[in-house]
Structure 1
C-alpha cells in the first residue's frame, strides 16, 4: 500500500492554551512521521473550511486522514460534502471518546475511528485495516447497486412486454422476441429498447 496519496485535515483547536497547542503539534508530528515512515505520500494538509470539498476534488487523494482534537462535527460536514459523489476511505485520529461523536463519524463515512494513544508505528496497520474495510464496504455497495439496477431493468422490460401484448396482441414470448430483435437491430440493451417503447407510449398518451 505504499505511495497511497493522503490528505490530512487538521481540525481547528478551540483551547488555545500552551498545553493544548503543544499536544496538537505533537500529535500532528507523530502522524506525519508515521505516514512518511510507512512510505505514504502526504499531498496536502488542509483546514476544515468551506473550501475543503473543492480542494479534495482537485487533489483526488486515495485516503483522507482527520486529525481531530475533540469535537469534529464541522470537519465531518465538509468531508461528507467532499466525498458525496466519490467515496474515499477516511481515518480519524481523535482524543474524543464521546459516543455521539463516534456515531456522527460513522454516519459521515469514517472507516476507522482511533481514540488517543497515537503512535507512529500503529499508523500503517490502522490504515491497512481501514482501506480493507472500505474496499469491502464499497464492494457490497456496488453489488447492491447492481442488484437494484438489474431489478429496475427487469421491471422496465416486463412493462414494455405487457404494453406490446396489449397493443399488438402478442403472447408473452412473442413480445419478448420482438424486444430482443429490436435491441439486436439497434445494438441496444433490452432495457434501453423497453424504455424507449415506454417513453413513446407516454408521449402519445
Structure 2
C-alpha cells in the first residue's frame, strides 16, 4: 500500500460525547489512530463528522479509504458512511470499542473491510490498512468477475432467444410458402436488409402477424 494513500477519518465531536469515560476512551483511540497514520506517512486529508453532509464532502475529497472512528454510536456512523459511499465504493476500516459480535457481523455485511475493536497501537495501523485494502480489492475483483459472467450469460440467453425466433419464423415460411430452409432464411435476411432491421426483429414481426391471423 502506498504511504500517500488519501484517508478520511469519520469521527464524532468529542466535546459532545455521552460521558467523560467515553470521551476519554474515544480521545485516546483517536490520538493513537492519528499518530499511527502520521508515523506511517499516510495522507490524512480530513476528519469529518457523520452527518447529512458526509456524502457531499466525501465526493469532494475523493479519498482512497475511509476510517470510521466511533464509540457507542458506531452503527449510526457506519450507516452514514455506507450511504455516502454507495455510488462509489471505497474500503472502510472501523475502529471502535463496541465488541458486540452482532454489530461486527452487521458491519462486515454492510461493506466494512476491517472491524477493529480496542487495543489500537500506532504500529498496527499499516498492517491493518494493508489487509483492508487487499480485501477490498479482492472483493471488487470478484464482483467484476461476477458482473462479467452475468453479462456473458445474458448475451448467450439473448442469442439463443433470437435463434429460436428465427427458426420459428423460417419454419413458418417453409410451411406456408413451400420454401426450403435456405430459401426461407435468404428471404428473411433480404427483408431485414431492405427494412434496416435485425433478423430477429423480422422474425418477431412475422410471428406476431401470424398470431394475429391465426
What's the TM-score, normalizing by structure 1? 0.80
Q: What pairs up with 1:87-98 in 2 under 5 angstroms?
A: 87-98=89-100
Mark the CA change 1:110 to 1:159 in structure 2 (over 3 Å): closer, same or farther: same
Alignment correspondent of 1:7: 8
- 2:35 corresponds in structure 1 to 33
Corresponding residue to 2:70 among 68, 71, 78: 68
Secondary structure at the aligned position of 2:134 is classed as helix
Could you tell me which residue of structure 1 aligns to residue 105 of structure 2? 103
Alignment root-mean-square deviation, CA: 2.9
Q: 1:102 is paired with a residue of what secondary structure?
A: helix
Q: 1:20: Cα distance to partner?
A: 2.5
Residues 37, 44 of structure 2: 8 Å contact kept: yes
1:116-172 deviation digits (Å, cap 9, x = unpaired): 00111100110001111111111111111111111011111111111122224468x
**Structure 1's 49 and 156: CA in aligned 2 closer, same or farther, altered over 3 A?**
same
User: Equivalents in 2 of 1:53, 1:97: separation in Å?
Assistant: 27
Unaligned segments of structure 1, at least 5 residues: 187-192
Instruction: Give the ranges of 4+ consecutive aligned residues of structure 1 lying more than 4 Å apart after TM superposition.
Output: 12-15, 196-202
Q: Which has the greater radius of gyration?
A: 2
Distance 1:142 1:199, change over 3 A: farther
Classify 1:5/1:199 alpha carbon distance in 2 versus 1 (closer, same or farther; 3 Å): farther
Offset at 1:70? 2.4
Report the alpha carbon displacement of residue 201 of structure 1 after superposing the two structures with TM: 4.4
Aligned residue pair count:
187
